[in-house]
Chains A and B, each alone.
Chain A
Amino acid sequence: MAEWEWEAATVDQLLDVQIYAADGEPLGKVDDLEFTTPSDGGAPVLTAILCGPSAFGPRLGGLVGLTVWAIGRRLSPTGSDPVRVPMTQVDRVNRREIRLRESARPLGTHRFADWTREHIVCQIPGGSR
Chain B
Amino acid sequence: MRTLDLLGADAYDADGQHVGTVHDLRLESGARPTRDSGEPAYAMGSLVIGPAGFAHRLGYGRAQMAGPWPLTLIFRRMAARSFVVAWADLERVEHRKVTLRSGADRRPAVEES
Contacts and interface: CB of A to CB of B under 8 A. Distances in A.
Given A58-B4, A87-B36, A88-B36, A10 B25 contact: yes
A contact face: mostly helix, strand, loop, or mixed: mixed
Contacts of A10: 24-27, 48
Interface stretch (A18-26, A29-37, A117-125): A29-37
A1 B39 contact: yes
A47 B36 contact: yes
Contact size class for B?
20 to 34
Contact of A42 (B23, B25, B43, B57): B43
Given A10-B25, A88-B37, A44 B43 contact: yes
A83 interface: no
Interface in B1-41: 1-4, 7, 23-29, 31-32, 34, 36-37, 39, 41
B7 A11 contact: yes
Contacts of B87: 43
A2 B27 contact: no
A95 B45 CA distance: 18
A68 interface: no
Contacts of A107: none
B34 A38 contact: yes
Contacts of B31: 38, 42-43, 45
Contacts of B29: 4
**Residue of A37, A38, A43 with most chain B CB atoms under a 10 A cut-off:** A43
B57 A87 contact: no
A86 interface: yes
Contacts of A46: 27, 41-43
A66 interface: no
